[in-house]
Structure 1
Amino acid sequence: MINKPEFTESQKFSQWWLWLLLFSVMIFTIYNFAENRQYFSTFELTLSFFIPILLIALFLVIRLETKINEQGISVRFFPFQITFRYYPWRNIKKVYVRKYSPLIEYGGWGMRRGLFGIGKAYNVKGNKGLQVILSDGKKVLIGTQKFEEIGTFLLKIK
């Protein structure tokens, strides 16, 4: 069997400030309801406990997965996308790595749409990504923590 080159990357939300914020909200919410429990029903108290826990669980399972091979580029933002979004090379006009501003260009991290035709972005952290310009002019930016590795891989397979 021939070993075909493939680049893969899986990223998660691992920023310390995000986790501090999530746990702070959870602790504040639970404390606030515990201190004022006489004003709330059992359902509201139960909900106030489980919503922050579910939010933390969601952030634990969210991951951005990227695969690049000789056929094209695949990306998915699990669990919001169960299947990969596939971009074959024949539909890609240009691809390159670049620095970008997640907040200014796309309004933050996650699955985002930029304003004024800037395109779609998939990112979880950082400010480096793979810019894909499709044949129809649409743009997709895929965040990466393997900035140099992805650039080297693209040179190798082209």
Structure 2
Amino acid sequence: MSYFQEEQRFKQWWLWALMMGVNALILGLFTHAFYTQFYLGEPWGTKPTSDSTLIIVFLLAIITLVVCNVMIILAKLEIKIDRNYIHYRYFPYIRSWNRISKDQLKKVYIRKYAAINEYGGWGYRVFMRKDNGALNVQGNMGLQIIFKDDTKLLLGTQKPEALKKATQKFMVGHKEEEYG
């Protein structure tokens, strides 16, 4: 039986506007380069490159844009809590479910956080510091997990009240002060 389930995706308008702006800028730059070098027959830039190099750089840029866009479009944070585990994954970065059992926990509680100040922004933020990571999509509320070895993981949520209730059910049998 599941006490809690949540799936979050990047839906912020400013993120999509930024992505579209970067895409338009790069495509516009290469359109100008191709027009100048191939249609007008003039070398493009102050240190012109060969036609084949320009094509290769263009293809690499397009592949990079597509991969970055697809990674953001596909990204989703999923959290589940049942009586035995807190489950989470952050597709496509974490494909299989990670499970956290009660006996791994020192403390777990809902808290407000500052994504930019504490973790450098939103997203897959476990590479920033090995002992204090975050998986978040938007907002400023999350499930703070402190493990027995004092490492920390924050799972962002858009449903803090429902997650708090599920956490309380999950932590039955632990001391009252160990969950919030």
The CA distance in 1 between the partners of 2:61 and 2:129, in whole Å, is: 35
> Please, which moves more after superposition, 55-64 or 38-47?
38-47
What amino acid does structure 1 have at the position aligned with 2:109? Y
1:116 Cα deviation from its structure 2 partner: 9.7
TM-score (normalised: structure 1): 0.88
For the 8 Å contact 1:33–1:48, the answer to whether it is kept is no
Q: Deviation at 1:5?
A: 3.4
SS at match of 2:28: helix
Distance 1:23 1:143 in 2: 25
Deviations, residues 111-157 of structure 1 (Å, cap 9, x unaligned): 2146595x111111111000111122211110001111111222334
SS of equivalent residue, structure 1 residue 82: strand
CA contact (8 A) 1:123 1:142 kept: yes
* Structure 1 unmatched runs, 5+: none
Is the contact made by 2:3 and 2:169 (CA closer than 8 Å) also made in structure 1? no
Q: Which has the larger radius of gyration?
A: 2
Q: Which amino acid aligns with 2:144?
A: Q
* Equivalent position of 1:49 in the other structure: 62
1:148 partner letter: E
2:110 corresponds in structure 1 to 97
Match of 1:63? 76
Which secondary structure does the structure 1 equivalent of 2:96 belong to? coil
Q: Deviations over 1:36-85 (max 9, x none)?
A: 21135222233333432332111110111111111111111111111122
- 2:138 is paired with a residue whose SS is coil
Unpaired runs of at least 5, structure 2: 38-43, 45-50, 173-180
TM-score normalized by the length of structure 2: 0.78
Kept after mapping to 1: 8 A contact 2:7/2:78: yes
Aligned residues: 154
Report if the CA contact (8 A) 1:64-1:76 is conserved.
yes
Q: Distance in 1 between matches of 2:143 and 2:20?
A: 32
Q: Which residue of 2 aligns with 1:109?
A: 122
SS in 1 for 2:6: strand
Which of 17, 20, 29 is the aligned partner of 1:20? 17
103-112 vs 19-28, which moves further: 103-112
Identity %: 35
What is the alpha-carbon root mean square deviation over aligned residues? 1.9
Give the aligned partner of residue 76 of structure 1. Answer: 89
Residue type of the alignment partner of 2:146:
I
Report the counterpart of residue 35 of structure 1 in structure 2.
Answer: 32
